[in-house]
């Protein structure tokens, strides 16, 4: 079970939101590059970056901060990024920086064929990010809830060559209320694409719960507020996950 520290970027700062609300941002660092280096030193084997401003604008907005983080970490660990990725040119630009994976979210919902094109052009580097509220997919920085159910939409990507699906329960994200294990398992069992859990990871009990069901197809979990506020010690959590995953 891979634990992936999140670095969410807003106005060049490392922040965490509650339920995706931009006006509910808590600033944890004005030097995101140092946070990237810190999590690698703590034993992270992958980093998760989100361009929050980009997610709302539909185009990259924190490029310089992303470039700096990738420059100091990508030689040590893979780095994945989501937020504002809407065209092949943006993907090429980001992969050229040294990113290992780009995450297509809103564009995957509005134009599923774009995912197929991206996977063909950049094989092995494309992750789909699906954020849901009560099982229904949300887009545009979670500002709009669609009529697409997350499982039905996920099935559309099974033959495209998607590396994995990041499933975020919006209602849990940033709320320190525990992972929605049941919904994550249902998605993982319904599709042939590995699933990465996101939203609500709070303590070691959540780690244990995810490890107990990882054979359903859950390969990792993204953690944010918990490691910044200290309810989870990242190094301890990854060690525990490794032991439980043997």
Q: Decide if 133 contacts 183 (C-beta within 8 A).
A: no
Closest by Cα among 166, 210, 223, 170 to 191: 166
How far apart are the C-alpha atoms of 204 and 199, rounded to whole Å?
Answer: 14
Q: What is the 3-state secondary structure (H, E, C) of the chain?
A: CEEEEEEEEECCEEEEEECCEEEEEEEEECCHHHHHHHHHHCCCCCEEEEEHHHHHHCCCCCHHHHHHHHHHHCCCCCEEEECCCCCHHHHHHHHHHCCCEEEECHHHHHCHHHHHHHHHHCCCCEEEEEEEECCEEEECCCCEEEEEEHHHHHHCCCCCCCCEEEEEECCCCCCCCCCCHHHHHHHHHHCCCCEEEECCCCCHHHHHHHHHCHHHCEEEEEECHHHHHCCCCHHHHHHHHHHHCC
Question: 8, 51, 173, 206: which is the annotated catalytic residue?
Answer: 8
Q: Indicate which residue of 131, 160, 169, 206 is catalytic.
A: 131
Task: Reply yes or no on whether 8 is catalytic.
Answer: yes
Residue 5 φ then ψ, to 5°: -65, 140
Whether 131 sits among the annotated catalytic residues: the reply is yes
Active site residues: 8, 131
């Amino acid at each position: 079970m891979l634990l992936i520290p999140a670095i969410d970027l807003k106005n060049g700062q490392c922040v965490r939101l509650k339920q995706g609300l931009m006006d509910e941002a808590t600033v944890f660092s004005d030097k995101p590059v140092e946070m990237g280096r810190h999590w690698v030193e703590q034993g992270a084997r992958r980093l998760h970056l989100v361009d929050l401003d980009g997610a709302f604008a539909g185009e990259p907005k924190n490029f310089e901060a992303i470039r700096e983080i990738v420059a100091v970490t990508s030689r040590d660990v893979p780095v994945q990024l989501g937020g504002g990725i809407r065209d092949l040119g943006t993907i090429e630009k980001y992969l050229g920086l040294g990113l290992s994976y780009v995450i297509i979210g809103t564009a995957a919902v509005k134009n599923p064929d774009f995912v197929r094109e991206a996977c063909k052009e950049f094989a092995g580097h494309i992750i789909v990010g699906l954020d849901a509220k009560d099982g229904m997919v949300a887009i545009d920085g979670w500002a709009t809830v669609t009529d697409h159910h997350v499982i039905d939409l996920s099935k559309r990507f099974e033959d495209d060559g998607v590396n994995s699906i990041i499933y975020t329960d919006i209602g849990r994200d940033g709320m320190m209320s525990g992972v929605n294990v049941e919904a994550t398992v249902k998605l993982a069992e319904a599709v042939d694409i590995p699933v990465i859990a996101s939203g609500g990871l709070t303590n070691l009990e959540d780690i244990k719960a995810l490890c107990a069901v990882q054979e359903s197809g859950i390969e990792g979990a993204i953690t944010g507020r918990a490691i910044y506020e200290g309810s989870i010690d990242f190094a301890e959590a990854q060690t525990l996950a490794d032991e439980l995953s043997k």
